Each structure stands twice: as structure tokens, then as C-alpha cells.
């Protein structure tokens, strides 16, 4: 399997910290991708907007190509990243939603609910996110209206 991206931003709050660490190892060891870890760096409680703004800035400035972010429900980080220009964050909980977020919405940030999915599900969703292309066409017209 080939990944469409080489530079990925990765972040989480304390609820997603363990998953983030597993995801970072998975992407760097299995696929040799460059992962920029934007925090958090322990299980200590943090405010999710702090890492979400860093990740959104990284993707919107093209320092990284795409982002993956986790919090307990996925909602807080998704709401935060979507405040940034050119960010299309998608809250996803299964592979089908992930595929549609890429195909129809050209999502560039995957927001995952760490407390509601397994690490295996997270890794499967990340593979779909990184290997699914935007379909363009009628979807481009809609994405341009966001």
C-alpha cells in the first residue's frame, strides 16, 4: 500500500495520548512517514484547543500536508481545527465515513474519538484516510463553497 502523503501532523489531548503514541510509531516504522508530533506529550490533562490550533496551523501553512488529531469524543478538536482557514476536519468513527470525508469533502484533518474506538479501528481508519483520493468533479464545487 502506498500513502498519498509524506508529512503528517499528529496531535492529541490527554485522552488520546496513548493512541497518538501508537499511531506515531505505526506510521514512522511501517510506512517511514515524517510525523510531526504537536503534543500532548504525557497523560497529564491539557486543554485540547492548544494542540488543535497547532495542528491546524501546521496543515494550513503547508508545513505538513495532512493532520490526524484525537481527543476523547473527537468533537472538541474537530470544532477547533475547523475554525482555521483551509482546514476541513472530519470527525470519523468508521472506515466508510473516513472514505467519504476524503472522496466527497477533501478532508485534510482526520479527527478521531479515542474513547469510542479501538486502536485497531483507528489504524484502519488512518490507512483509509491516507490512501483515499478526493474525487473532485461535482464535489469540488461544493468544497469550494465551504
Considering the candidates 40, 71, 78, 92, report the single residue annotated as catalytic: 71
Q: Is 78 a catalytic residue?
A: no
Provide the mean pLDDT of the chain. Answer: 96
Pair 71, 113: CB distance under 8 Å: yes
Collapsing DSSP to helix, strand or coil, 9 comes out as strand
Cα separation, 85 vs 75, in Å, equals: 18
- Single out the catalytic residue among 40, 78, 84, 104: 104
Say yes or no to pLDDT of 1 above 70: no
pLDDT value, residue 93: 98
The proportion of the chain whose per-residue pLDDT surpasses 70, expressed as a percent, equals 98
Render pLDDT for 3-39 as a digit per residue (tens, 0 to 9): 678 899 999 999 999 999 999 999 999 888 999 999 9
| Predicted local confidence at residue 5, as pLDDT | 83
Q: What pLDDT, on the 0 to 100 scale, is given for residue 36? A: 98
Cβ atoms within 10 Å of 112's Cβ, excluding its own: 30
Instruction: Tell me the three state secondary structure of residue 144.
Output: coil
**Is the model's pTM score more than 0.75?**
yes
CATH code reported for the domain at 7-143: 3.40.1400.10
The per-residue pLDDT for 45 is 97
Per-residue 3-state assignment (H helix, E strand, C coil) for 90-117: EECCCHHHHHHHHHCCCCCEEEEECCCC
104 catalytic, yes or no?
yes
pLDDT, tens digit, 9 for 90 and up, residues 60-118: 999 999 999 999 999 999 999 999 999 999 999 999 999 999 999 999 999 999 999 99
Coil, helix or strand at residue 29: helix
Residues 79-107 as b or e (16 or more Cβ within 10 Å = b): ebbbebeebbbbbbbebeebbbbbeebbb
Amino acid at each position: 500500500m502506498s500513502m498519498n502523503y509524506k508529512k503528517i501532523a499528529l496531535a492529541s489531548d490527554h485522552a488520546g495520548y496513548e493512541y497518538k503514541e501508537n499511531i506515531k510509531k505505526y506510521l514512522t516504522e511501517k510506512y517511514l512517514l515524517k510525523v510531526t508530533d504537536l503534543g500532548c506529550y504525557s497523560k497529564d490533562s491539557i486543554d485540547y484547543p492548544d494542540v488543535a490550533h497547532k495542528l491546524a496551523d501546521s496543515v494550513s501553512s503547508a508545513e505538513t500536508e495532512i493532520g490526524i488529531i484525537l481527543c476523547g469524543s473527537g468533537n472538541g478538536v474537530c470544532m477547533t481545527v475547523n475554525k482555521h482557514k483551509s482546514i476541513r476536519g472530519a470527525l470519523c468513527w468508521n472506515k466508510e465515513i473516513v472514505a467519504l470525508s476524503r472522496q466527497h469533502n477533501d478532508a485534510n484533518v482526520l479527527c478521531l474519538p479515542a474513547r469510542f474506538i479501538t486502536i485497531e479501528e483507528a489504524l484502519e481508519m488512518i490507512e483509509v484516510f491516507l490512501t483515499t483520493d478526493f474525487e473532485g468533479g461535482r464535489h469540488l464545487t461544493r468544497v469550494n463553497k465551504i
